[in-house]
Structure 1
Amino acid sequence: MAVHYTCKHCQSEMGTLSQTVESVDLGIDVLDTDHRAEVLTYGDNGDIHVRAICEHCHEALTRNPALYELDSFIQ
């Protein structure tokens, strides 16, 4: 099982953890059900896909807070 991180705005691949890790180590256990459903998907092979925000998109959001109102601001 691998954990793949992808930016939810620009779709860039941020990284992959290929070693076995516990959900507690990733912080997944502290997410409520709605937030978990929003940021996590599971592959047929057991891989976990995490939708996060990359450094570049975070910087854009910091400079332009109105962008937080959009689900995706990069087309």
Structure 2
Amino acid sequence: MSIVYKCRHCGDVIGQLEQRVIDTTVLGWDKLSNEDKKEMIEYQANGDVHIQSICENCEESLGHHPEYHELDYFIQ
């Protein structure tokens, strides 16, 4: 099982955890609302989990262009 963190805006892989057993409370998933979990966490058929997050480059772009927060995707 892999947990893959991907940027929701550009699609780049931010990081990946290769573990058989992972305590999701250590990852902070217990702090997410049910709505956030549905939006951010995708369970794959092969057992992998994909987490939608934001990379440093996209976070910086949002900081410089706050109007991008209105868009679902600002990188075309």
Shorter-normalised TM range: over 0.9
Structure 2 residue aligned with 1:49: 50
Unaligned stretches of 5+ residues in structure 1:
none
The size of the alignment, in residue pairs, is: 75
CA root-mean-square deviation: 0.8
Give the TM-score normalised by structure 2.
0.93
Give the TM-score normalised by structure 1.
0.94
Structure 2 residue aligned with 1:6: 6
Q: Aligned partners of 2:46, 2:26: CA distance in 1, in Å?
A: 21
What SS does structure 2 have at the residue aligned with 1:25? Answer: coil
Bigger proportion of residues as helix? 1
Q: How far did residue 62 of structure 1 move?
A: 0.6
Which residue type is aligned with residue 60 of structure 2? Answer: E
Q: Percent identity?
A: 41
Q: Aligned partners of 1:25, 1:43: CA distance in 2, in Å?
A: 21
Q: Aligned partners of 1:25, 1:2: CA distance in 2, in Å?
A: 16
What SS does structure 1 have at the residue aligned with 2:45? Answer: coil
CA shift digits 1:25-54 (9 cap, x unpaired): 111111111110001100112211000000
Large movers: runs of 4+ above 3 Å: none
